[in-house]
């Protein structure tokens, strides 16, 4: 049992109680400090957002930037070619219109990426406001304090922080305990406890000490603090393309080369067929731009940025896009028991009477004996007696003649000696062996029932505390308090949801196998690893990975760091040690380990969105093919007019309608790319059928309708009808 004072423990429990998701899994509404950025779910049709993003979209027209996206680079080159052709024949208004819409296609693609990045920059601006250049009180080797700028601190420096001070840099508490306001980082208003010597020793630069005094050892260089890394990551400065994104870029580049070769061969073919006049370079360029996968090429980067942004909205910082992508393919999830699946502190769950004693009498004696016990377990006994039996918590001042017996590691008991009307009543509560010995020393007997109850509680994974009293009739055992590590509310439902996703859950604990089995069954996890050492965790992760599975793990302690580094997705708690946060590739600012479910959903949503829009983009090209090819060759081959299934009014109108639709569809799909396709747990086969049915079929129908509507509008223009 801990001997820490109750006020600190209660603050810790209050802080832990705030660490729950503040939104539904599929909600797009930010919470916490993100709510102050003024962003909306889609973020596209906000005029201020568009105005702010337009200059950046224009800057991205630089060919050195565009070449990173092969598809859109080809569109830009095509736009430059048509611009030259239009300048060569200024009177050709058709050439100018085609050129204008091709440039708009490139601009819209850049605007999609700029809007996605703008959402991150809005978040970064909020973080910069939280960042202050604090003055640090650095300790010298002789223990003297000196004031230095926070930027002058180096790794290993010791700084003193007291109530009201801003912590000048990231570090670990090496002395003391304090209440810290982290709302500037996490958005949570409730303070948290930071203390030396445990897994809650890490502090973040820019947060504020509310009480007491701590000494912090600095662990990062100036400019490389956690908040600096957050700013760089959320505004996209450190974003790298993921393997999946790179592979898709290669596919798109390959398709672009194939269509480029196909379009190049059309020129000599048209000359041979006598349709050379209907296939000028301007029309061939328009055909190429419409046939290559411009839609997904334009939105690919925005999808990746938006995936990381959705994590930030949920107070999770991903160190790389690769981690977000890997989360979508996770099949095994390792969860630490203490503080993750359970609350972490043993709580009183039940009063079990012995030998015909009433439950209320046991509760009354247990409460009395716990008034001097400031451990979390002792406080929970008082609370349970009040809630279960309506017993009011009595202040120590009310019991004037009471002599309090505090808990010690030697006696393993706590209690009280009450003097009433000259008679002394002694009440004790503690470990079974210690209390049984106390009763025996005073001539009392130990009922077999008490032995049986304590054994049963132990086998169920709980901790039995025996309550006894010595009165005029002698010493006797009154009952047993059942202490248990309480499983967090809603955990069974959460694990059932993970199971529907096809994800196996494994609980990791240092407890014995009996305790681990009981808690695993109560929580509803698929498997457990008992008496786990850091080496055992590593071995389990490697064994799962050897079977072709991607593994995710949450952790907060230094002993979790090797496993977090080995896991494909390592989510470190912000309340954890610096070593854990450095080892993981994600940090949960709310320190809510169950949020890993949302992280997996966001990863899957990213992959599904990318697949859905790729399907739509490729299907899109079929309708454009039926719009432009007949327009190019119907004069030479009148029978090709049968391919004009949309009954477009003229060749010029058909080509222009396809180009205009090709540009506008990018704008129309930007909100979907930023918000993401909603994830629903289902098999891969069913998901493929759904994608083909919605986005494949939609990719065929939408362009046909859109191109026809644009053609009807253009038919009203003289010379195009």
Integer Cα distance of 297 and 299 in angstroms: 6
Tokens of 656: 């222009």
* C-beta separation of 248 from 610 below 8 A: yes
Q: How far is CA 89 from CA 84, 96, 171, 281, in A?
A: 9, 9, 67, 13
* C-beta separation of 56 from 114 below 8 A: yes
State how far Cα 366 lies from the chain centre. Answer: 42
Q: Which helix (H) or strand (E) holds 6?
A: helix 6-17
* C-beta separation of 353 from 469 below 8 A: no
Backbone φ/ψ region at 490: left (φ over 0), alpha (ψ -120 to 50), beta: left
SS3 (DSSP) at 146:
strand
Compute the radius of gyration of the chain from its Cα atoms. Answer: 34
* C-beta separation of 404 from 398 below 8 A: no
Integer Cα distance of 230 and 587 in angstroms: 10
Q: How far is CA 574 from CA 366, 522, 584, in A?
A: 37, 27, 11
- Give the pLDDT confidence score for residue 240 in this predicted structure: 56
- Give the pLDDT confidence score for residue 9 in this predicted structure: 34
Residue 432 is classified by DSSP as H
Q: How far apart are the first and last CA of the chain?
A: 87
- Give the pLDDT confidence score for residue 125 in this predicted structure: 66
Note if 336 is an active site residue: yes
Is the pTM higher than 0.85? no
Integer Cα distance of 359 and 556 in angstroms: 40
Integer Cα distance of 283 and 92 in angstroms: 13
- Number of helices and strands in the chain (H, E): 24, 21
- Give the pLDDT confidence score for residue 103 in this predicted structure: 94
Integer Cα distance of 603 and 307 in angstroms: 7
SS3 (DSSP) at 107:
helix
- Give the pLDDT confidence score for residue 393 in this predicted structure: 59
Q: In the beta sheet, which residues pair with residue 156? A: none
Q: Which helix (H) or strand (E) holds 403?
A: strand 403-405
- Give the pLDDT confidence score for residue 248 in this predicted structure: 83
- Give the pLDDT confidence score for residue 394 in this predicted structure: 60
Q: Which helix (H) or strand (E) holds 516?
A: helix 513-523
Q: In the beta sheet, which residues pair with residue 420? A: 423
Integer Cα distance of 523 and 539 in angstroms: 24
Residue 547: CB atoms within 10 Å? 10
Active-site residue identified among 309, 336, 556, 568? 336
* C-beta separation of 477 from 435 below 8 A: yes
Give every CB contact of residue 270 below 8 A, 6+ residues apart in sequence.
Answer: 276, 278, 279, 632, 633, 636
Residue 113 is classified by DSSP as H
Q: What is the mean pLDDT of each run of 10 residues along the chain (721 residues)?
A: 32 33 32 34 57 84 88 92 90 88 91 76 62 76 82 86 86 88 63 76 82 87 68 56 76 88 80 65 86 88 81 78 81 80 77 85 86 76 82 61 78 82 83 89 86 83 86 87 81 83 84 79 89 85 89 81 87 78 82 78 87 89 80 70 79 87 90 84 76 88 90 78 55
Integer Cα distance of 248 and 306 in angstroms: 17
Q: Between vectors from CA 64 to CA 62 and to CA 67, what angle results, nearest 5°?
A: 105
Alpha helix ranges (H) inside 557-650: 561-566, 578-583, 596-633
**Torsion from C-alpha of 678, 683, 689, 694, nearest 10 degrees:** -10
Integer Cα distance of 337 and 523 in angstroms: 10
* C-beta separation of 44 from 108 below 8 A: no
Q: How far is CA 598 from CA 146, 327, 588, in A?
A: 45, 10, 11
Tokens of 651: 């060749």
């Amino acid at each position: 049992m801990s001997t820490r004072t109750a006020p600190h423990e209660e603050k810790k429990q209050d802080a832990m109680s705030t660490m729950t998701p503040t939104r539904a899994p599929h909600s797009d509404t930010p919470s916490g400090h993100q709510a102050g950025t003024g962003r909306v779910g889609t973020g596209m049709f906000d005029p201020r957002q568009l105005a702010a993003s337009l200059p950046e979209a224009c800057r991205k027209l630089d060919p050195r930037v565009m070449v990173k996206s092969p598809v859109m680079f080809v569109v830009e080159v095509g736009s430059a070619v048509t611009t030259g052709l239009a300048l060569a024949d200024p009177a050709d208004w058709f050439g100018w219109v085609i050129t204008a819409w091709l440039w708009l296609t490139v601009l819209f693609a850049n605007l999609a990426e700029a809007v996605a990045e703008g959402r991150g920059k809005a978040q970064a601006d909020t973080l910069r406001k939280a960042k202050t250049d604090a003055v640090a009180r650095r300790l010298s080797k002789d223990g003297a304090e000196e004031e230095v700028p926070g930027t002058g601190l180096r790794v290993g420096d010791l700084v003193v922080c007291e109530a009201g001070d801003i912590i000048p840099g990231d570090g670990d508490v090496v002395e003391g305990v304090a209440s810290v306001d982290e709302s500037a980082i996490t958005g949570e208003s409730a303070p948290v406890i930071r203390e030396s010597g445990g897994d809650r020793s890490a502090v973040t630069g820019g947060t504020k000490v509310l009480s007491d005094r701590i000494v912090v050892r600095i662990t990062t260089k100036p400019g490389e603090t956690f908040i600096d890394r957050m700013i760089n990551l959320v505004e996209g400065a450190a974003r790298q393309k993921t393997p999946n994104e790179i592979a898709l870029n290669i596919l798109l580049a390959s398709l672009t080369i194939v269509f480029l070769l196909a379009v190049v061969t059309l020129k000599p073919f048209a000359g041979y067929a006598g349709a050379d006049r209907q296939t000028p370079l301007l029309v061939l360029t328009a055909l190429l731009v419409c046939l290559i996968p411009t839609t997904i090429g334009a939105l690919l980067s925005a999808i990746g940025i938006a995936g990381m942004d959705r994590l930030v909205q949920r107070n999770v910082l991903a160190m790389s896009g690769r981690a977000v992508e890997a989360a979508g393919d996770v099949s095994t999830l390792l969860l630490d028991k203490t503080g993750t699946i359970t609350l972490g502190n043993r709580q009183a769950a039940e009063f079990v009477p012995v030998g015909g004693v009433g439950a209320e009498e046991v509760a009354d004696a247990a409460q009395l004996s716990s008034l001097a016990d400031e451990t979390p377990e002792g406080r929970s006994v008082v609370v349970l007696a009040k809630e279960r039996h309506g017993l009011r918590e009595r202040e120590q001042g009310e019991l004037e003649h009471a002599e309090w017996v505090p808990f010690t590691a030697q006696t393993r008991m706590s209690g009280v000696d009450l003097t009433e009307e000259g008679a002394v009543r002694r009440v004790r509560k503690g470990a079974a062996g210690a209390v049984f010995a106390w009763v025996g020393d005073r001539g009392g007997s130990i009922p077999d029932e008490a032995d049986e109850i304590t054994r049963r509680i132990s086998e169920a994974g709980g901790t039995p505390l025996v309550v006894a009293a010595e009165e005029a009739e002698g010493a006797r055992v009154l009952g047993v308090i059942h202490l248990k590590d309480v499983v967090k509310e809603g955990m069974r439902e959460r694990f059932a949801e993970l199971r529907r996703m096809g994800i196996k859950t494994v609980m990791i604990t240092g407890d014995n196998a009996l305790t681990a089995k009981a808690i695993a069954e109560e929580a509803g996890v698929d498997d457990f690893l008992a008496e786990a050492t850091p080496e055992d965790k590593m071995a389990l992760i490697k064994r799962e990975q050897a079977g072709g599975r991607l593994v995710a793990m949450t952790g907060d302690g230094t002993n979790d760091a090797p496993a977090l580094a080995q896991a494909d997705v390592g989510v470190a708690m912000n309340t954890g040690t610096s070593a854990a946060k450095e080892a993981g590739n994600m940090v949960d600012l709310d320190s809510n380990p169950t949020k890993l479910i949302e992280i997996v959903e966001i990863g899957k949503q990213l992959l599904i969105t990318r697949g859905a829009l790729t399907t739509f983009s490729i299907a899109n090209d079929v309708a454009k093919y039926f719009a432009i090819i007949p327009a190019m060759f119907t004069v030479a081959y009148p029978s090709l007019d049968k391919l004009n299934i949309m009954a477009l009014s003229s060749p010029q109108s058909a080509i222009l309608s396809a180009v205009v639709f090709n540009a506008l569809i990018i704008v129309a799909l930007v909100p979907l790319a930023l918000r993401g396709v909603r994830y629903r747990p289902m098999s891969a086969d069913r998901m493929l059928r759904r994608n083909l049915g919605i986005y494949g079929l939609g990719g065929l129908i939408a362009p046909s309708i859109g191109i026809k509507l644009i053609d009807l509008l253009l038919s009203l223009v003289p010379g195009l009808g």
